[in-house]
């Protein structure tokens, strides 16, 4: 029995879920998301609650059941509240600045690194060492944050680099000095 797949998805006020075969459109105060789901699962919307059903108990149907329910719940949460990932930049001279829709990063290289925001993702730079990635699509927000982190991942000796705010970087001891 799938615990995730069987849970109903409450639809908050101001959010509209439209099902057209396998195509689902979710409209809310923050925007609109569309996705095509697998034909094995059926999505029903009744009385402000969306449910995902599977035709049989095969292994593939069970996997798609939980996945589809989680994806639909993420769409509903995205258009009503949105998602955000916070990144912290640590290092002497490491900083970020917003230039239009792109992020300009000084990361210890001989040149600044520019990262342009894809459609549906916004950047905020409240201070030079903090970057906030936000949007309505959970997958896009997470992917963009991961790509920015990949530009200079935190290194284990001094901890310099880009990390998530709640990330713990395990530190290593450096070389022992000659005595």
pLDDT per residue as tens digits for the range 60-91:
999 999 999 999 999 999 999 999 999 999 99
Give the whole-number percent of the chain exceeding pLDDT 90: 78
* Nearest-angstrom CA–CA distance, 77 and 86: 18
- For the question of whether the overall pTM of this predicted structure is more than 0.85, the answer is yes
Q: What is the pLDDT of residue 179?
A: 67
* Nearest-angstrom CA–CA distance, 134 and 144: 9
**Where does the pLDDT of residue 1 fall: very low under 50, low under 70, confident under 90, or very high at 90 and above?**
low
Q: Where are the domains of the chain?
A: 3-80, 83-164
Per CATH, the homologous superfamily of domain 83-164 is Ribosomal protein L6 (3.90.930.12)
- Quick one: tokens of 164? 């998530």
Question: What is the widest separation between alpha-carbon atoms in the chain?
Answer: 75
pLDDT beyond 90 at 178: no
- Quick one: tokens of 4? 């995730």
Tell me if 3-80 shares its fold with 83-164: yes
Per CATH, the homologous superfamily of domain 3-80 is Ribosomal protein L6 (3.90.930.12)
Give residue-wise pLDDT tens across range 84-121: 999 999 999 999 999 988 999 999 999 999 999 999 99
Give residue-wise pLDDT tens across range 3-25: 788 899 999 999 999 999 889 99
Give CA 10 to chain center in angstroms: 21
**Where does the pLDDT of residue 175 fall: very low under 50, low under 70, confident under 90, or very high at 90 and above?**
confident
* Helix (H), strand (E) at residue 70: helix 59-80
Angle (CA) 116-122-124 rounded to 5° is 100
Q: Comparing 1 with 92, which gets the higher pLDDT? A: 92
């Amino acid at each position: 029995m799938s615990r995730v797949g069987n849970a109903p998805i409450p639809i908050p006020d101001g959010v509209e879920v439209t099902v057209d075969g396998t195509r689902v459109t979710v409209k809310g105060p923050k925007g609109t998301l569309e996705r095509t789901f697998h034909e094995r699962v059926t999505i029903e919307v009744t009385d402000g609650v969306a449910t995902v059903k599977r035709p049989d108990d095969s292994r593939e149907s069970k996997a798609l059941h939980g996945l589809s329910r989680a994806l639909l719940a993420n769409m509903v949460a995205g258009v009503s509240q949105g998602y955000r990932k916070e990144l912290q930049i640590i290092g002497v001279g490491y900083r970020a600045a917003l230039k239009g829709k792109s992020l300009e990063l000084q990361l210890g290289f001989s040149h600044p690194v520019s990262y342009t925001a894809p459609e549906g993702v916004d950047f905020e730079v409240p201070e030079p060492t903090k970057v906030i990635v936000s949007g309505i699509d959970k997958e896009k927000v997470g992917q963009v944050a991961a790509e920015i982190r990949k530009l200079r991942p935190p290194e284990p000796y001094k901890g310099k680099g880009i990390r998530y705010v709640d990330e713990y970087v395990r530190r290593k001891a450096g070389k022992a000095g000659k005595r």
